[in-house]
Amino acid sequence: MTSGKTLSGRCLCGAVTFTAEPRALHMDSCHCSMCRRWSAGPLFAVDVGTSLKIADGAKLGVYGSSDWAERCFCSVCGSTLFWRMRDGSFTGVSAQAFDDPGIFEFTTEIFVDEKPANYAFAGERKRMTGAEVLAAFSKQSE
Ligand SMILES: [Zn+2]
Ligand SMILES: [Zn+2]
Q: What is the pLDDT of residues 74-121, one digit of tens each?
A: 999 999 999 999 999 999 999 999 999 999 999 999 999 999 999 999
130 Cα: distance to centroid of ligand 2 (angstroms):
9
pLDDT over 70 (residue 8): yes
Residue 71 near residue 65, CB atoms below 8 Å? yes
131 Cα: distance to centroid of ligand 1 (angstroms):
34
Rounded-to-10 torsion of CA 117, 37, 99, 20: -110
Query: What confidence score (pLDDT) does residue 140 get?
Result: 67
Residue 108 near residue 125, CB atoms below 8 Å? yes
Helix (H/G/I), strand (E/B), else coil: 141: coil
110 Cα: distance to centroid of ligand 2 (angstroms):
8
Q: May I ask the CATH class of domain 7-140?
A: mainly beta
pTM of the model: 0.93
74 Cα: distance to centroid of ligand 1 (angstroms):
5
Query: What confidence score (pLDDT) does residue 1 get?
Result: 64
In the chain, domain spans: 7-140
Rounded-to-10 torsion of CA 21, 22, 25, 28: -150
Residue percentage of the chain with pLDDT more than 90: 89
93 Cα: distance to centroid of ligand 1 (angstroms):
15
Helix (H/G/I), strand (E/B), else coil: 59: coil
